[in-house]
């Protein structure tokens, strides 16, 4: 028997998603998602661009929980991620004295906590990649 989510009405049917596409409205204020399901066809969703950060954060947190429960980890060798257009990145120290990596992609700003000792490695990598290379 399938597990029922504790917050979900058991009389409602869950539809499994098989494919998702999307677009942005011409004014950039809303995101349009076309969610495809195997049995029920297409469902169209629209949400304000300002909610994108909250949606992405929710999906990342849920993905982390799923990885812990299912012992699943995405490996770069087995999954080709779509490169995102990075608008900004910074390293800093959070209020708990842990390192913080902040990434800006479009209308979204995400911050990741990381051990302080890994910040030096990230910094060295960035510096090494930006060093001038001899012509030829």
Q: Which CA distances in Å does 48 have to 21, 42, 126, 131?
A: 16, 20, 34, 40
User: In the structure, what pLDDT confidence band is assigned to residue 72 with cuts at 50, 70 and 90?
Assistant: low
Mean of pLDDT values over 71-95: 77
Residues 61 and 87 in one domain: no
In a domain, 133, yes or no: yes
Q: What average pLDDT does this structure show over 55-84?
A: 76
Q: Do 56 and 103 belong together in one domain?
A: no
Residue 21 has pLDDT above 90, yes or no: yes
pTM metric for this prediction = 0.65
| pLDDT(7) > 80 | no
How many structural domains are present in the chain?
Answer: 2
Question: Are 76 and 93 contained in the same domain?
Answer: no
Sheet hosting strand 88-93, strand order edge to edge: 88-93, 99-105, 108-114
pLDDT class of 92 with cuts at 50, 70, 90: confident
Pair 28, 53 in one domain? yes
Range of lowest pLDDT (24-28, 30-34, 97-101) = 97-101
Same domain, 49 and 63: yes
Same domain for 68 and 25: yes
As a whole-number percent, the residues of the chain with pLDDT over 90 amount to: 21
Tell me the residue range of the domain where 123 lies: 82-136
Q: What is the pLDDT of residue 15?
A: 80
């Amino acid at each position: 028997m399938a597990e029922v989510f504790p917050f979900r009405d058991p009389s409602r049917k869950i539809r499994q998603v098989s494919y998702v596409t999307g677009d942005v409205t011409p004014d950039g204020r809303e995101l349009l998602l076309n969610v495809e399901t195997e049995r029920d066809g297409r469902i169209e969703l629209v949400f304000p661009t300002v909610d994108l950060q909250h949606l992405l954060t929710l999906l990342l947190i849920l993905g982390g929980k799923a990885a812990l429960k299912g012992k699943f980890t995405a490996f770069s060798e087995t999954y080709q991620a779509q490169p995102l257009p990075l608008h900004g990145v910074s390293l800093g120290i959070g209020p708990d004295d842990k390192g913080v990596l902040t990434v800006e992609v479009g209308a979204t700003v995400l911050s990741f906590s990381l051990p302080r000792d890994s910040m030096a490695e990230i910094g060295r990598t960035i510096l090494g990649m930006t060093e001038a290379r001899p012509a030829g």
